[in-house]
Structure formats: structure tokens, C-alpha cells
Amino acid sequence: MKKKMVLGIGLLSLLVFGACGKDGSAEEDEVKTVGALQFVQHESLDDSYSGFVKGLEEEGFVDGENLKIDYQNAQGSQDNLKSISEKLVKEKPDLLLGVTTVAGQSLLTATQDIPIVVTCVTDLKDAKLVDSYEKPGGNVTGTTNMSPVAKQIKLLLSIVPNAKKVGIMYNSGEINSKIQADIAEKELKKAGIEPVIRTVTSTNDVQQVSQTVAEEVDGIYLPTDNTFASAKTIVGDVMKEKKVPLVAGAINDVKEAGVATIGINYEELGVQTGKMAAKILRGEATPAEMPVEDSKNLEFYVNEDMCEALGIDPSSIKNPEE
């Protein structure tokens, strides 16, 4: 009987100490959990999420090994955002990811305790996700995808140097888009160009608005906008038909609808976000003290196929910042 008790205690001791590191702390390969919420599916947001996963992997957190990610897409529905946010919070993950402003806001409404990182948010402070970029102050931090709007407008005007009117199109319900559109409007007025501003409320309006604006202007600026991004092929077809050059905030939008841009690489932005998340998961930082980051790399991109369709020599388009 005594031998059995000794063996039992010995086995229990092995189990306890086997689950700990040399210093008695939990093993580094303990499985962490992340709940991820993306508002809608389109290339830029998808790239951001895949970059996030890549960034975590580069920091040693591999989904399916020492990390479990519950990825959810709201498919553009506000109702889905609320229900999915509540579901993810109930699972009590170690960290939450919000891809887009509305996804981050929905998660923050659901919890002020679980750490949240966000990406593809133009202005975290304006969206009331953080107190300041230097010291977020709550349970949210992340990366901003604020486009270099002034540089993009400068690029557009170099492509259409004799422009008198330039169109700006965006979804009036997307705060990210409006922030950029307001900056673009100011830059155009500063250059003596008349802005022609038109908004949509859904993808159903994109074709008609694009055609209307294209008939009125010499060039078009399209900020990063989820609605237009979801219908960028439609926009591209209209630009080809009307022979109007368009500069967009996102490189992925230009690949389908525009001639050029100086824009953000969304996968790399996601990688930055993933690396921030890794620090939080390791306990090295908290959202309250972790400064918000902007894109570390901007890319100059020219869509040669669109240039050809519009009769523009791609080699004539230069980065005005160089």
C-alpha cells in the first residue's frame, strides 16, 4: 500500500513539474487563443488578415500548434458584427483582432477587458478606439491604414496636369473614407481644382455613381473604401469606357480600377499588427501602453494594363516624391 502511495505521489509530481518550465512557470508552447473579426471580404482586408497570421508566425505563434485562431467574417452586416463579437468574447480568448474600424468598435463594445488589436482603421482616435496614438489608454491598440492622401492627389494631378475638375467617390457611411475624402477635397482646392464629390450607400450604387462622376471630371480620386473595394472591377470597367484616369488609396484597388498610386502594402501592415499582438500574448506589453503604428512601407505602383486601355504611356507616370 505504501509503495502504491509513493508511486502515485511521484507520478503526480512529474505531471505538475512536467507542465512547467525550469523556473516553475508555464511552458512557452502553451496554446494561446485569438478571436479575429473581419467586417467584409475583399483583397486588401484579406491581405491584412493573412499578414497578421504571418506576423504571429514570425514571432513564434503558429496557428494549429501553439496558437488557435477563431476567424470570423461579418460579410458586411452590422447585425453579424454584433452577434459575432459577443460570441468571440464569450470564448474568453487571450486576444481579439478587429479588421476595419467597425469591427474594432464592435469588439470594444463587447469587452473592455480582453486585449484588442485592430488594423485597417484610418483614425483610431477619431473612431474612439484609443485616447491617443502614443498612449492608447484602454484595451485597444493596433495599426492605422491612413493613406498618404496628399501624395496621392499630387500623383493624380501629375497624370492630368490640365485638370479643372476631379471627382471623389466614397461610401458616406464609412468614417475611414470620409476622413480621406475631406483631406483630398482640401488638397484639390489648394491646387485650384474643383472637387466633384459623390457618395454611395451600397455596392448597388457604385456603377451609376462611377458613370456619372466620370462624365463630369478629368480624373478621379478613390480613398480606401470597403464598398468601392468590393466593386472595384465595376469601377475599372467604367474608367476604361469613359477613358478617365483614377488614383486610389489602396494598391489592390488600382490593380483593377486605377492607373497608379502611392499606397500601403496591406499584407505588410498585417504583419506589423501580428508582431504587436505577439508582444501582448507574451505579456511584454499591454494595449494601454503600446503606441499605435502606421505603415512602415509605402509602394509606388503603376497599372500598365489600365494605362494602355486609357492611352497613357506607363513610363510617363513618375513618383512625384522622387
Q: What mean pLDDT value characterizes the chain?
A: 91
DSSP line for 9-40: HHHHHHHHHHTB-TTSSBPTTPPEEEEEEESS
DSSP-based helix, strand, coil % in the chain, nearest 5: 45, 20, 35
Contact between residue 246 and residue 224 where contact means Cβ atoms under 8 Å apart: no
- Please say if the pLDDT value at position 24 is more than 50: no
**Structural domains of the chain sorted by starting position, each given as residue range(s) with its CATH number in brackets:** 29-145+266-296 (3.40.50.2300), 149-264+299-316 (3.40.50.2300)
Beta strands 298-302; 260-264: pairing state: antiparallel
Which tens digits make up the pLDDT trace of 117-167? 999 999 999 999 999 999 999 999 999 999 999 999 999 999 999 999 999
Contact between residue 72 and residue 84 where contact means Cβ atoms under 8 Å apart: yes
Residue 222's beta-bridge partner residues? Answer: 248
pTM, two decimals, is: 0.82
* 196 or 9: which leads in pLDDT: 196
Contact between residue 295 and residue 260 where contact means Cβ atoms under 8 Å apart: no
Residue 69's beta-bridge partner residues? Answer: 34
- Please say if the pLDDT value at position 303 is more than 80: yes
Distance CA 168, CA 156 (A): 12
Please give the order of strands across the beta sheet that includes 67-73.
Answer: 67-73, 32-38, 95-99, 116-121, 140-144, 293-294
Mean pLDDT of 187-206: 97
- Cell 466633384 locates to 196
- Please say if the pLDDT value at position 279 is more than 60: yes
Contact between residue 50 and residue 266 where contact means Cβ atoms under 8 Å apart: no
Q: Could you list the beta-strand ranges (E) of the chain.
A: 32-38, 67-73, 95-99, 116-121, 140-144, 165-171, 194-200, 219-222, 246-248, 260-264, 293-294, 298-302
